[in-house]
């Protein structure tokens, strides 16, 4: 009987590790701060047709609206209620977006902020995205409703009420994260309001959640909340599908709280992945690509089945969160494309691509004074739409890394090689490496100063392939380099590091 219960519980939680991505798709993209109307259009015109599996959206619930600084991106991480109107749009627009994305095979994952409400100094009034009244001073959020009773008050033992010592797990979980009013998730009532919010989104058709700030919540409390979640809507997902859960736990090692504590509940963000791969591509600390032969668990990362991986995220691309200076972002576009390419070619983890907006970086003593800046916006603070240029790039400050040919084509590469083993490794002992995915794909990187000019075994069937980095297959012809693979699977590659993109990738569907 005990064994039976164990098996049942195990089965339930393992299910929450499955992103329920549609057949033939593998990767997801974070459309950070995009409006729902733009995401709906992007699903139909770009993400669906190009094989993207899902979108992580910004928090859809009501949030504080701040004037100083002016409408920062992080105001969305300060909930006022679970009403579904935010800087990205209304509840109707959200519902329309979820439906339209689902209709073209693209899942929606919601960024769920359930650890806290707004900051203690958030003031009072109705400066909130739906106009709900609240009082941060008295911890009154009538639109949920939450009152002072629903927060961790005396449970926190620091004099400031904030987390002061990250080595003290009680502080990290019972005190306020940078003064954000900390919800008492041990209370049945709080759990029920959070679950009600998440279930409403499940009813609307979302596939799961990126759960914010999980380090700051007790695993047992999260388990209780997740346990109240319904299965996914059978309009779009198979019967008995658990919502996909991936938890933000920043664990670069050496802290009191480890990512491992959350493995049984869902997947976890593997922050070591982008921090380390950034160090490798930057060639810092003596790192070289040759050392990535055993990339993944071999590098001390979490088990494959637990990991969500990414090169940068909305926090660490602007110095927030963790990872440090090694993180490669769109600001270092050449290295970023290579690192994202490496991630998408490699089998480890569920891969998430970042899609950013530009801001006016201004460094003083190595610190970006404008790391708070919100998305491209109009003078009234409303978020600007994402215009698509004739060359398919985005305008008005939206970076759209996911539309860059190299990244989009590597998303397709990952789909084509799905399920194939990491194979046919080659390296030159330094920063020139190559690997394949069975007989379905092969990728070669030159991150050294000297040219790469080598013939190697690709594991692919003989024929001529189109390199999907320098170009792509269009109507039977190749707009980039052509790679000839002999009947013995060997091919010659020549890559100069001075090229715009010093890497080459071919796959079964880029065969001419
Ligand atoms: C906030 O309250 C004021 C005064 O009651 C009202 O005029 C205004 O429309 C409200 N703002 C929103 C966004 O509801
Ligand atoms: C922080 O917490 C840890 C664990 O409780 C404790 O050992 C350490 O002394 C604390 N540090 C300070 C500065 O209070
Ligand atoms: C899903 O469940 C419903 C209701 O129990 C049932 O009618 C339907 O046949 C099931 N579908 C599949 C594919 O099993
Ligand atoms: C939800 O799905 C799980 C399996 O993933 C199943 O055990 C459970 O009975 C389902 N719950 C409902 C209410 O259908
Ligand atoms: C590998 O790359 C290094 C660094 O550019 C270069 O010096 C070396 O000659 C290359 N080795 C081989 C075996 O090609």
Q: What is the pLDDT of residue 15?
A: 83
- 431 Cα–ligand 5 center, Å: 8
Q: What is the pLDDT of residue 13?
A: 56
Active-site pick, 248, 312, 427, 448: 248
Mutate to test the pocket of ligand 1, among 83, 126, 381 (most ligand atoms within 8 A of CB): 126
| DSSP symbol at 97 | H
Write out residues with Cβ below 6 Å of ligand 4. Answer: 15, 231, 240, 242
- 233 Cα–ligand 3 center, Å: 12
Supply the pTM of this predicted model.
0.96
Does 401 participate in catalysis according to the annotation? no
Q: Which residues pair with 364 in a beta bridge?
A: 367
Mean pLDDT for the chain?
Answer: 96
Whose CA is closest to atom 11 on ligand 2? 165
Q: Are 376 and 398 in contact (CB under 8 A)?
A: yes
Whose CA is closest to atom 12 on ligand 2? 165
Query: With 50 as the cut, is the pLDDT of residue 356 above it?
Result: yes
Reported as half-sphere exposure (CB side, CA atoms, 13 A), residue 269 has a value of 29
Q: Are 58 and 33 in contact (CB under 8 A)?
A: yes
What is the number of the ligand closest to the CA of 199? Answer: 4
- 126 Cα–ligand 1 center, Å: 6
What is the number of the ligand closest to the CA of 381? Answer: 1
- 316 Cα–ligand 2 center, Å: 27
Q: What percent of the chain has pLDDT over 70?
A: 97
Active-site pick, 42, 212, 251, 315: 212
Signed CA dihedral, 78, 80, 81, 87: sign only:
negative
Q: Which residues pair with 57 in a beta bridge?
A: 110
What is the number of the ligand closest to the CA of 241? Answer: 4
| 437-450 tens-digit pLDDT | 999 999 999 999 99
**pLDDT-derived band at 279, boundaries 50, 70, 90:** very high
| 92-134 tens-digit pLDDT | 999 999 999 999 999 999 999 999 999 999 999 999 999 999 9
Q: Which ligand 4 atom sits nearest the alpha carbon of residue 8?
A: 7
Query: With 70 as the cut, is the pLDDT of residue 210 above it?
Result: yes
Does 365 participate in catalysis according to the annotation? no
Domains of the chain: 1-117+185-417 (3.20.20.80), 118-184 (no CATH), 422-510 (2.60.40.1180)
Query: With 90 as the cut, is the pLDDT of residue 4 above it?
Result: no
**b/e sequence 428-462, b meaning 16+ C-beta within 10 Å:** beebbbbbbbbbbbbbbbbbbeeebebebbbbbee
299: exposed, middle or buried (C-beta count within 10 Å: 0-12, 13-18, 19+)? middle
Interstrand relation of 208-211 and 180-182 (parallel, antiparallel or unpaired):
unpaired
378: exposed, middle or buried (C-beta count within 10 Å: 0-12, 13-18, 19+)? exposed
Write out residues with Cβ below 6 Å of ligand 1. Answer: 126, 131
Nearest-10 Cα torsion for 172, 177, 182, 183? -70
168 lines ligand 2 (CB under 6 A): yes
| 25-71 tens-digit pLDDT | 999 999 999 999 999 999 999 999 999 999 999 999 999 999 999 99
Rounded Cα gap, residues 208 and 57, in angstroms? 11
Q: Mark residue 133 as left, alpha or beta (left: phi above 0; alpha: psi -120 to 50; beta: remaining).
A: beta
What is the number of the ligand closest to the CA of 15? Answer: 4
164 lines ligand 2 (CB under 6 A): no
């Amino acid at each position: 009987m005990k064994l039976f219960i164990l098996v049942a519980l195990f089965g339930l939680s393992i299910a929450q590790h499955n992103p329920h991505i549609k057949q033939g798709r593998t990767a997801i993209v974070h459309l950070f701060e995009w409006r729902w109307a733009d995401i709906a259009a992007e699903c139909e015109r770009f993400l669906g047709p190009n094989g993207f599996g899902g979108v992580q959206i910004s928090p859809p619930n009501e949030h504080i609206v701040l004037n100083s600084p002016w409408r920062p991106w992080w105001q969305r991480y300060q909930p006022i209620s679970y009403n579904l109107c935010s800087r990205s749009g209304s509840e109707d627009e959200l519902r329309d977006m979820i439906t339209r994305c689902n209709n073209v095979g693209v899942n929606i994952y919601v960024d769920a902020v359930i650890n806290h409400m707004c900051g203690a100094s958030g003031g009072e009034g109705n400066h909130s995205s739906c106009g709900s009244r609240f009082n941060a001073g008295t911890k009154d959020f009538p639109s949920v409703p939450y009152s002072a009773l629903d927060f961790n008050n005396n449970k926190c033992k620091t004099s400031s009420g904030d987390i002061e010592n990250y080595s003290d797990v009680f502080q990290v979980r019972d005190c306020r994260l940078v003064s954000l009013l900390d919800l008492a998730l041990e209370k049945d009532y709080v759990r029920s309001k959070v679950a009600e919010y998440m279930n409403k989104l499940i009813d609307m058709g979302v596939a799961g959640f990126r759960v914010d700030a999980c380090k700051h919540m007790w695993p047992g409390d999260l388990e209780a909340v997740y346990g109240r979640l319904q299965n996914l809507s059978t309009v779009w997902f198979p019967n008995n599908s658990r919502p996909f859960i991936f938890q933000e736990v920043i664990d670069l090692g050496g802290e009191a709280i480890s990512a491992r504590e959350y493995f049984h509940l869902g997947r976890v963000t593997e922050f070591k992945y982008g921090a380390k791969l950034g160090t490798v591509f930057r060639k810092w600390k003596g790192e070289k690509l040759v050392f990535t032969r055993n990339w993944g668990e071999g590098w001390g990362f979490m088990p494959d089945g637990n990991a969500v991986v990414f090169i940068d995220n909305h926090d660490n691309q602007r110095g927030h969160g963790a990872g440090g200076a090694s993180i490669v972002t769109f600001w270092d576009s050449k290295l970023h494309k290579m690192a994202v390419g490496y991630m998408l070619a490699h089998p480890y983890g569920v891969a998430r691509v970042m899609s950013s907006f530009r801001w006016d970086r201004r460094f003083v003593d190595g610190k970006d004074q404008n790391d708070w800046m919100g998305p491209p916006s109009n003078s009234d603070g409303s978020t600007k739409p994402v215009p698509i240029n004739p060359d398919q790039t985005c305008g008005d400050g939206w970076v759209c890394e996911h539309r860059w040919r190299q990244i989009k084509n590597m998303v397709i590469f990952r789909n084509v090689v799905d399920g194939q083993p990491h194979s046919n490794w080659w390296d030159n002992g330094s920063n020139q490496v190559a690997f394949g995915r069975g007989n379905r794909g092969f990728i070669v990187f030159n991150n050294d100063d000297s040219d790469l000019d080598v013939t190697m075994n690709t594991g692919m069937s003989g024929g001529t392939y189109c390199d999907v980095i320098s170009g792509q297959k269009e109507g039977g012809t190749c707009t980039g380099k052509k790679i000839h693979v002999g009947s013995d699977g060997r091919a010659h590659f020549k890559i100069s590091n001075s090229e715009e993109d010093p890497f080459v990738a071919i796959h079964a569907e880029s065969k001419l």
